[in-house]
Amino acid sequence: MDPTEFSDIQKTAKDLLRMTFRSHSKLLMTGAAGGLGQAMRPRLQQNCDVLRLSDISPMAAAQTGEEVVPADLSDFEAVKALVAGCEAIVHFGGVSTEQAWAPILQANIIGAYNLYEAARLHGVKRVIFASSNHVMGFYRQSDVVDALSPPRPDGFYGLSKAFGEDISRLYFDRYGIETACVRIGSSFPEPRDRRMLATWLSYDDLHRLITACLTTPVLGHSIIYGTSDNSVSWYDNHLAKHIGYRPLDSSDVFREAVYARTPEPDLTDPAVLYQGGGFVKIGPL
């Protein structure tokens, strides 16, 4: 047998060993109309009997094993009704880019409070929170950060994700609600530029990561960087070994093509120097 073929079989076998299973009866996923919500929708159906999907924007109609429940995260009564009956939450909903303070306050800060308060009232015990690399955006691309590195948000958006991480810690310490704060790098079909060679997270690895967070016996309050197995990386996940996430994809296969289509980096440009890339220059700050 050709050695490449053998290694492919080994990879598939390893993947099967970590196979997703229906660990939850009802899972809630917010942000279902967004990029990651749409990518995870078919995948997360493997993790539960019923997947409840929510967003403020229009969503595709419910299929078998799904419930579609529109809600504005900034509306407490709506969020309370949304969370009722769910065992765990995958929280993608909210503003996902640097913007003015007002929408970020409503969706990401008031929205995070509403979600955790609803989780407390309904006895939800586990949340996977889509945090962001922009919590750490003002570290340099020559720094390596881990779960204990102090946050250095690169804007209001990163700051709101730092708030989400903090409120999740409060609800863990007071009420025992476990959360994985997943500092997602760049989760798109392919890395779009040289920076994303370090931050890229494939959709399949994101699903593996969420599955690991949902199924690890004791999650606690954990911070984990969400990237694939990229050779160049600014993130050290040694404090998240208990989650058992093992990425199987890598941005390395895109490196040559990305270098060919992108210019030499200007090392005086803050977007090149800092981990947050272009986010460090956007907005009124």
Q: What is the DSSP string of 184-227?
A: E-B-SSS--STTHHHHB--HHHHHHHHHHHHH-S---EEEEEE-
Name residue 113's amino acid. Answer: Y
For residue 155, the Cα-to-chain-centroid distance in whole angstroms is 18
Query: Applying CB under 6 A, does 179 fall inside the site for ligand 15L?
Result: no
User: Binding residue for ligand NAI (CB under 6 A) from 111, 153, 158, 276?
Assistant: 111
CA distance 45 to 140: 38
Q: Is 209 exposed, middle or buried (0-12, 13-18, 19+ CB in 10 A)?
A: buried
CA distance 37 to 62: 14
Contact 129, 167 (CB under 8 A): no
Least gap, CB of 7 to ligand NAI (angstroms): 29
- C-alpha pair distances (Å), 197 with each of 3, 70, 192: 27, 35, 8
Strand-strand pairing, 66-68 and 48-54:
parallel
251 phi and psi angles, rounded to 5 deg: -70, -10
Q: Which of residues 4-63 bind ligand NAI (CB under 6 A)?
A: 31, 33-37, 55-57
Contact 133, 187 (CB under 8 A): no
Query: Applying CB under 6 A, does 155 fall inside the site for ligand NAI?
Result: no
CA distance 137 to 155: 8
x/- site string to ligand 15L, residues 188 to 217, per CB under 6 A? -----------x------------------
User: Binding residue for ligand NAI (CB under 6 A) from 29, 90, 94, 128?
Assistant: 94
User: Binding residue for ligand 15L (CB under 6 A) from 25, 63, 97, 231?
Assistant: 97
The pair of structure tokens assigned to 264 is 């030499």
Query: Applying CB under 6 A, does 25 fall inside the site for ligand 15L?
Result: no
User: Which of 113, 116, 139, 157 is an active site residue?
Assistant: 157
Write down the residue that tokens 């309370």 correspond to.
80
Least gap, CB of 92 to ligand NAI (angstroms): 4
Known catalytic residue: 157? yes
Query: Applying CB under 6 A, does 152 fall inside the site for ligand 15L?
Result: no
Site stretch for ligand 15L (CB under 6 A), options 119-127, 130-138, 222-230, 242-250: 130-138
Residue least distant from ligand NAI (Cβ): 34
Closer by beta carbon to ligand NAI, 123 or else 189: 189
Least gap, CB of 247 to ligand 15L (angstroms): 17
Interacting residues with ligand NAI (CB under 6 A): 31, 33-37, 55-57, 72-74, 92-96, 106-107, 111, 130, 132, 184, 186-187
Instruction: Enumerate binding residues for ligand 15L (CB under 6 A).
Output: 96-97, 132-134, 186, 199, 277
The residues annotated with a catalytic role in the active site are 157
